[in-house]
Amino acid sequence: MFTTLWAGGLLELLTGADTFPWLTIFQMLGLLILFSGFFSAVLLSLTSFAKSFKEAQAYLIPVMLLSLTPAMLSLMPGITLSGALTILPLINIVLLARDLLSGTVDPNNAFVAIISTFAYAAAALSVAARLFGSDAVTRTSEKSIGSLLRRPREPSLRPTPQAAALMLALLVPVYFLVSNGLMRFIKASQDTSVEATLLLNAVALISTFGLLPTLATWIGRNQFKTTFRLQPSGTLSIIGSILLGLGAWAFAHEAFVIADAMGIGGLSDKQIAGAEATIAKMRETSPFLLIAVFALTPAVIEELCFRGYLFSAIRTAVSPLRTVLITAFLFGLFHVLTGSALLVERFVPSTLMGLIIGWVAYRTGSVFPGIVIHFVHNALLNTVLYYKDQLSFLGAGFDDQTHLPLLWLTIASGLVITGGSLVWMSSKKQIARDIEDNHGPKQGNTELA
């Protein structure tokens, strides 16, 4: 199509330039691959229930007709890739393609559209994988599409990777809507107190990363203890986790500085000024409330989601290394999007912390050491930010975009090495149990008994 437009001299009318848009072509190709992966998986899932070619056509025709609606909406004036449209399947990719052609792409909205479509594609492929070759696609089966929504008859120890993919596909738009709604509410409500704003942040986190995995566990009849990895880990691993939390922040800070030097994200002067104004407001409230909202709540809720539900589901299908890498990547990805802002600079340090906590979660077989690391790390940073003026004698600040002093890095390295050693020594038996759990007998009534 691009070649035809170029040869006919019409390319300038579409792109505003008469040169061949190689970069735009590759970007559009990437969107088409992503879109076709999502759409074909949806079609495969629907037609898996068909008993004949005619029945498959009956399923597909309404879907194909509905898919024309996004193309029509993109031609209407005033329709832009923003707000809820960034997470609406089909139309978000169509609007993003239109913005690519016009050269008016907003990075925040483009990121949300691509990530949400990735999540929908993974969910659709998971459904297709679950159906294809199963009882639902045999000619003698009486199952229907509604059977996907029914709870399993038998309980299981852990969720499947397909269930985790479906949960993530729902988590992306819910998190986007809740975080955006919260930001808009705070901006519109000038009289909202700092305490109320903090509590709303905690409620938003619990209602997304806490409620959705819990509902998915209940719907899938998974055991809560094994799904969220609530096994005790031992005193030695908890002590090691405290030391890791006290030292890991330094490496996360260095990762942020290095990423900033490489051009990955980085805070602008406006963002720094906004952050300082926010910190000044937060100093008006109790430090215990800050720690409860920004340390305790994320530590418990996020770890139960990422190193609990997702970790146990993914671990049933891939190796420990891949499980740690995947959960760390997802952990970093969700920290990039905050409301309508795209904070790319948070990806590298958040992913690094996800790798450290993921390794501890694997070694200990429990979610509790990860909660401890997460809590200690966040509590330390929030405490230092709260008492920043009183701690100015220490020199470089925790929020400074410069490298830390060598002495600080040496102390942090000692804490990390000591904490990691304690975790390693306390978790030798757990590794054997993990191998047996994930490569031994299949989950079922026998294993549950």
Residue 148: the pLDDT is 59
The answer to whether 360 touches 370, Cβ cutoff 8 Å, is yes
Residue 353: the pLDDT is 94
219 with 87, same domain: the answer is no
Residue 147: the pLDDT is 59
Residues of the chain with pLDDT under 50: 135-141, 397-398, 440-449
- The residue range of the domain holding 296 is 159-439
79 with 170, same domain: the answer is no
Q: Which two tokens stand for residue 357?
A: 């906590």
Give 397-428 pLDDT, tens digit per residue: 445 557 788 888 899 999 999 999 999 988 76
Dmax (CA) for the chain in angstroms is 77
Residue 434: the pLDDT is 61
Q: What is the CA radius of gyration of the chain?
A: 24
Residue 438: the pLDDT is 59
Task: Judge whether 107 lies within some domain.
Answer: yes
Residue 329: the pLDDT is 93
Query: Rounded to whole angstroms, how far apart are CA atoms 402 and 406?
Result: 12
Task: Judge whether 446 lies within some domain.
Answer: no
Single residue among 129, 150, 171 that ends a domain in this structure = 150
The answer to whether 241 touches 419, Cβ cutoff 8 Å, is yes
Give 296's DSSP letter. I
The region that residue 263 occupies, defined by phi over 0 for left and psi between -120 and 50 for alpha, beta otherwise, is: left
The verdict on pTM exceeding 0.75 is yes
Residue 190: the pLDDT is 65
Task: Judge whether 33 lies within some domain.
Answer: yes
Residue 65: the pLDDT is 81
The answer to whether 310 touches 327, Cβ cutoff 8 Å, is yes
Single residue among 150, 170, 202 that ends a domain in this structure = 150
Q: Using CA atoms in the order 288, 289, 295, 299, what is the torsion angle rounded to 10 degrees?
A: 110
Task: Judge whether 53 lies within some domain.
Answer: yes
Q: Give the chain's domain count.
A: 2
CA angle at residue 441 from 440 to 442, to 5 degrees?
Answer: 115
Query: What distance, in Å, lies between the first and last C-alpha atoms of the chain?
Result: 61
Residue 339: the pLDDT is 59
